[in-house]
Structure 1
């Protein structure tokens, strides 16, 4: 058995793992879960993941339900060396710190701004947009050496780039104000195999989903 990967295209956490698997040359048997049809609540899926979250990864019976843990697992098990996820304690701690920043700060602040409009048809809150801009300013500082966690590509980049490309696709702010991030995303498109097939369409799908919700609210 290979890796079964339960995914949905608009999910940045799913896309980051598809990109990493492609980069590592690891085959994924992708099983799309339609969240709008509540397929994540089907008994057969709940048997695999009682939390009914997407993505979910199953590698020869071993189940993972947290997207960033999947990145770590893939790099640990299938990486040809430790460049993507260093074994040196300080270098690894920097990678972990950036990933934790993504999941605890960047992704939530973005969600707090866009999700109320997407799901509850609530007007956008300018104060929450300021929080997104603030956190993107931190990301600009992280990129001082070219990548999210230093001077070479790591799993922190797969985590962060999928989120940043999704934010860009929503057009909630002018990315030209964040020159380092714009340059970084262009670099990731060139470095990460399958970007235009595995990541960008899903980011664009999310962006259109947000724009449609916003247009309905304003009409």
Structure 2
């Protein structure tokens, strides 16, 4: 049930500010931060140094046995996985249900694209960035780039049917995908002639205030690390 602005303020005062554990390099963390911005929810960002294995400490594993980021801590409620976090924030803090519809069929379409993001976009991105950032790899295999190209084809097909991923209105599925696509395009530039729908969608997304504030800095930082590693 959505809370009105007064109730949201009361809730935040009583339960203190929500904590978000993560690092800006991570696209899923950036997606969560964009959602906090969209729904105007104050949060405390707690940096988790993945290189130093801070995500594998006993304290962190109690919050998330999968030792992944991000993790949301809302009072005594702990939630990991960026897609679950996006849905939670939309349901609790959204002023309406446009970002995550209550209508069963509309919500199913959003969920479908969230699953596309978590099963196709993010794994194909992580296959490249994890090996470079965490394992020190200096090259990108052509097969991994071919996998990304295939994902672009899927994405273009979706956008050929609707303006946004799950319909003609932006939803949390677009937010999740935006965080990944702004890094994927740095790994494999998007041919605007081949993928005009993606190009238009990405341009709109990158120009939003929430993307510029919460996604762009981390995406640029990760791009610099990758380019330096493979140069």
Which ranges in structure 1 are unaligned for 5 or more consecutive residues? none
Q: Which one of the candidate residues 22, 42, 53 is aligned to 1:27? A: 42
> Larger helix proportion, structure 1 or 2?
1
Query: What runs of 5+ residues in structure 2 fail to find an aligned partner?
Result: 1-15
1:98 and 2:113 are equivalent in the alignment: yes
Aligned length: 213
Deviations 1:37-79 (A, max 9, x none): 2222333323333332211001111000111111111111111
**C-alpha contact 1:12 1:162 (8 A) present in aligned 2:** yes
Where has structure 1 moved over 3 Å in runs of 4 or more? 113-118
Q: Deviations over 1:2-61 (max 9, x none)?
A: 211001010100011110111111111111111122222333323333332211001111
2:225 is matched with 209
> Could you say what the CA RMSD is over the residues aligned between the two structures, in angstroms?
1.8
Is the aligned partner of 1:154 residue 2:171? yes
178-187 or 44-53, which deviates more: 44-53
Does 1:194 find its partner at 2:210? yes
| TM-score, with structure 1 as normaliser | 0.89
Give the distance between the partners of 2:106 and 2:210, measured in 1 at CA: 27
Is 2:76 the partner of 1:86?
no
Q: CA deviation at 1:164?
A: 0.4
Deviation at 1:113, TM superposition (A): 4.1
Q: Could you tell me how far apart the structure 1 residues matched to 2:130 and 2:191 are? A: 20
Q: 1:52 to 1:146 in 2, by over 3 A?
A: same
User: Is 1:124 aligned with 2:140?
Assistant: yes
1:95-141 alpha-carbon deviations (Å, 9 max, x no partner): 00000011011211233344445525264322332221111111112
